[in-house]
A and B are shown apart, each in its own frame.
Chain A
Amino acid sequence: MEGKALGVVLIVCLLCLSACRQTDLNTDGSPAVEEPQTYIENKGSDTLVNLALAWAEEYQKQRPEIQISVTGGGSGTGFAALINGTIDIANASRGIKQEEIDSARALGFEPVEHIIANDAIAVIVNPANPVSQLTLEQVSRIYKGEISNWQELGGEDRPIVKLSRETNSGTHVYFLETVIRLDSKEDKSIFSADTLLLPSSEGIIAEVRDNPNAIGYDGLGYVTEEVKMIALATSANGDYILPSAATVTDGSYPIARHLFMYTRNQAQGLEQEYLDWILSPQAQAIVTELGFVPVINE
Chain B
Amino acid sequence: MMRRSEAWITNTVRIAGSSSILFVMLIFIFLMREGLPALNDVDFSSLFSTRWYPIEGLYGILPLISGSLIVTLFAMVIALPFGIGTAIYIGEIAPQSVNEILKPLVEILAGIPSVVLGFIGILVLSPAMRIGLNLPTGLTALTGAVLLALISIPTIVSLTEDAFYAVPKSFREAAYATGATQWQVIWRVVIPAARSGILNAVMLGIGRSLGETMAVMMVTGNAPTIFTGFESFIAPVRTMTATIASEMGEVATGSAHYHVLFFIGIILFLFSLVINITSSSLSMRPKRGKDQVVS
Contact = CB atoms under 8 A, between A and B. Distances in A.
Contacts of A196: 137, 139, 221-223, 236
B247 interface: yes
Contact of B122 (A167, A168, A206, A213): A206
A194 B56 CA distance: 17
B223 A195 contact: yes
A196 B138 CA distance: 11
A195 B53 CA distance: 11
B188 to A, nearest CB: 48
| Size bracket of the B interface | 35 or more
Interface in A264-295: none
Nearest to B33: A5
A203 interface: yes
Contacts of A193: 51-52, 63, 223-226
A211 B250 contact: no
Contacts of A73: 249-250
A198 B222 contact: yes
A147 interface: no
Q: Give the interface size bracket for A toward B.
A: 35 or more
Most A CB contacts (10 A, CB to CB) among B52, B223, B246 go to: B223
B252 A166 contact: no
A102 to B, nearest CB: 10
Contacts of B130: 210-211
Given A2-B37, A80-B252, 8 more contacts: A73-B249, A80-B250, A158-B136, A166-B222, A193-B63, A196-B222, A199-B217, A214-B137
Can you list the 5 inter-chain pairs with the closest CB atoms, starting with the nearest? A76-B250, A168-B250, A196-B221, A159-B136, A197-B222
20 contacts: A73-B249, A99-B252, A100-B252, A161-B137, A166-B247, A172-B55, A173-B55, A191-B53, A193-B63, A193-B225, A194-B223, A194-B236, A196-B137, A196-B222, A196-B223, A197-B221, A198-B221, A199-B217, A199-B222, A214-B137
